[in-house]
Structures are given as structure tokens and as C-alpha cells.
Chain A
Amino acid sequence: MTVAVHGVGTSHFGRQPGRTLTDLAWDAVREALADAGTEDVDAVWVGTVFGAPGVAQRVLHALGITDVPVVTVENACASGTTAFLEAHESVRTGRYRRVLALGLEQMSTAFDGAITPEPTDAEGLSGLAMPALYAMAAHRYLETGAATLEQLAAVSVKNHAVAEHNDRAQYAGRYTVEQVLASRMIADPLTLLQCCPTSDGAAAAVLAPADGSPDEVLVRGLGFRSGSLWDHRSAHVWGYDLVAATAADAFAQAGTGPDDVDVFEVHDAFTVGEVATTEALGIVPPGDGGAAAAAGVTAVGGARPVNPSGGLLSRGHPLGATGLAQVAEVVWQLRGRAGGRQVEGARTGLVETMGGGVSGIDGNGCVVAVLAR
């Protein structure tokens, strides 16, 4: 059975400490249900990382969604796409007919700044905040000559500029490479404008069997893995091999490859993350990710547009909501309704989310989805 996305929706993304998770979820769910032309779902999968116990039912019952199975999943930054993938599987296998996938997170009330490293983890207790993990990937890129500081900064310039066309994004602006590099140092060599912000938000999608309705977007392929061991044998930076392996699974199921994809929404929690991911996905050859960003190859209007939404760097990164916001962006792109950030003629899109926080492996989880009209 082919499963389709029939509706998507999101809240605004940003620091919204004065709004409740129910308010944020309502914005996303109301829009997704209206988009799908329905009021009823048969089950709900919810992705969240820091949500309190029961957060899914606490939010959903307030929206009038009761008496259905509700499953909450936590998979770090891939929590939203994990909910999407499991919602898809439950439709594909016939377990439920119409399923809501919802991602939500309120970070601004939980953290002053970066996410606090997990003290039960070896590297978390050793002071490895997430920016530091990506900073070491960036340092490695610089020292092996695979990218330059200016190329890393070019990702931030690109994603902040295109976000001017996304009124749901937390940040947007016309920065120069020099301004990006001159912003406050977070973890050498990553500066503030190369790091995703602290965000609150929700995003949702309604999935059901494809029925030929004009706005539906088909799910063509999915990949889903946890990381293999990441250790002294690993030549690539953290997460690279996990993304590559998960993408291979998704492409195999879709019967396509990266060259068949017109638009990509990928996990750019930090600039180097987008650089590494464009390489791991096969969008550009290994070592070309930084140069491609600097040359405009991965910009809207370039040959291989990546993160037309502005990405996590600009839209914001409420962990559990991110994956479903990526799905929403690709759905809008494939419907040709992305406004000033539209990738002209996009017919096939890809979503990639990966998350970490567990040391010793290449990532807690990664989801890659190939969507098409």
C-alpha cells in the first residue's frame, strides 16, 4: 500500500515561553487536519524529547482528540520523524486508517542556553555539550582541508537569507560570512550564528492510504536506524556514516537516488552538520559540502537546494517538532506553495533528521524519508 501525507501544519517556531504546549500543538494540529480535510484520526504518534510524562495525552485531550491509541516516542532530534515513520508504518500495514503524527517541544522554559549534557552519559558528564561535539566535527573538517571557516559560515548565510521568505522561522537575516564568523564563539570553531537557537514549537502531519487526491504527497521510501559504534576505527565525523546508511535504505525502498531529489530538508543543527550531511546523502561528493554551500549550489535557485525553510539554524529547533516541520516544508515545496522560497518544479523531496546525546555510537537515531508527488 502506498501511504500519502494528506495534511501538514506547524505553529510558529521561536522562543514562546508565554504560550502553552497545548496552544502550540493546536496551531499545528488544526492546520494539518484542515489541510487533510478531516476532523478524525484513528491513532496518534507523538515525538518529543523533553516533554513531561503524559504530555501527549495532556495536549491531545484539550484538542478534543480522545479515545484513540496515543504513542509517544523519544529519539533525540529525530523524534518527530520517528513519529512520522511509525505513523506511516501503522497505515501501510493496515493497523489504522488515518493517523496523526505530532511533534512538540518547549525548550525556552527548560534551558537557559544550550541543552544540558546528560550526566548519566560518559561524554555528557565529561562536559560534552552538543555544540562541542559538532565543533569537533568542524575542527576535523578544517584540519583535514575538507572545508574552510568561510565555507562553514556560508551555510549560515544561506539559511538565514532564505528564511526571510519563511514567516514561521525564528530567525532570518542578511548576514555576511564575516558577520557569521565574528559572532560570539560557542565552541571553537563554531560561532553563535552557526548554531541552532533555543526554540518552542509544534508540527503535525496526517497520513492515510493514497487516494489520488490532488494535494496528496506520497511517501516513497523510508530509512530508520540507530547508530553503529563510533570509535577509533571511524574515519568520518560523528553521524556521517549513520546518515549515509539510513539514506541508502530510504533510496533503496524508493527506487531512487540523491540525483532524483529536487529539494532537501536536512538536519543543520550546526553549520558543519549541513556540510557533512550533504556529503553523506550523496548530494555532493565527499569533501565538497562546504564548497557547494559557498558556491550557491545548495541554495534555492542552485542545482541542489538544501534547507529552503531556513533549516534548523533559522527556523529553529524545538527537538521533537523539527522532523515534522521538515516534512511540512517538503510537502509545501512539492505542492508548489512555498512562496518566495519555492524550489521551482520540485517533484521529489527528502527529509533527513538525526539526533545524538549517547556517546560511543554514531547517533541515537536517524530517519530519512523520500516524498514525491
Chain B
Amino acid sequence: MTAPTTGPGTDPRPQVVGTDDGPAVAGVRCTACGHPSAFPRPRCPACRGPVVPALFGPTGRVWSSTVVRIPVPGRTPPYALAYVDLDDGPRVLAGAEGDAALAMDTPVRLLPADPAGDVRVAVVR
């Protein structure tokens, strides 16, 4: 197996890269079962099969969302978070604009790589 075992650097968050189709999460997809992962896993976490690098996004839908209103180190509340199911891809935790939780199934789009390292999305209008 020649799959990557580590991502760029040691940041544990999904890595967003630029592509001709827009921003994408650089992960892997299983060649045995098709399971998508938002991370450079050494093998498929679902079936233990081999994986190949894959790009996910830029579009997806909100599974759920919240606004954090308590202090968290390194962040200024309030800030919105959402679990986003990328189209034909993995569920990722993403930051979102504004201070209101996004409705379930809201269409969203990945934003370009954030200097702070977060995955971020914007609502598709």
C-alpha cells in the first residue's frame, strides 16, 4: 500500500486546497468500498481497504449547526459551527459566517483555505 500516512504538517484538521472547481478538502477514498475520509488515512477506516488521495467539495449540505457563545481558547465567541456533508463526500466540521445556526439541509460551499487553518463554509444563495 502506498497511501499517504501523514498530511501536510501536523495540523489535525481537514486540509482545504484550491482546485479548478473551487476549494476542496484533500482526503482519501477507499478503492474497495468507496468510503470517503476527510483526512489522509493510511487505510479505509470503514473496511480497512486500500485508499487513494481524493478531493471533496466544494458543495455540501448542513447536517446540523450551532453557535458557540462561551469562551474557547484562541477563539472569540460567538462563532458558528456546522457539520457539513460534502456532496458524495465526508461529513466535516466547518466554521460558518454570522451568529445564527444554519438550518438543516442548507446548501453551503467551501471557502478557500483559511489562514487560521479552519474548514469554513458559506451559504449558497
Q: Which residues of A contact B (CB under 8 A)?
A: 112-114, 116-117, 120-129, 131-132, 135-137, 139-140, 143-144, 184-189, 229, 231-232, 234, 237, 359-360
Contact = CB atoms under 8 A, between A and B. Distances in A.
A126 B89 contact: no
B47 to A, nearest CB: 10
B14 to A, nearest CB: 7
B45 A127 contact: no
B69 A186 contact: yes
A229 B90 CA distance: 12
Contacts of A123: 93
A56 B78 CA distance: 39
B101 A140 contact: no
B83 A136 contact: yes
Interface string B58-75: 000001111111111111
- Chain B interface extent, by class: 35 or more
21 contacts: A113-B71, A114-B70, A116-B72, A125-B11, A126-B118, A127-B72, A127-B75, A127-B79, A127-B95, A128-B93, A131-B68, A136-B65, A136-B81, A139-B66, A140-B63, A143-B103, A186-B69, A187-B67, A187-B69, A229-B45, A360-B45
A232 B92 CA distance: 9
A231 B91 contact: yes
A124 B75 CA distance: 12
B65 A139 contact: yes
B119 interface: yes
Given A126-B93, A136-B65, A139-B64, A232 B70 contact: no
- Looking at A114, A127, A131, which has the most chain B CB atoms within 10 Å of its CB? A127
B90 A132 contact: no
B64 A143 contact: yes
Contacts of A114: 70, 72
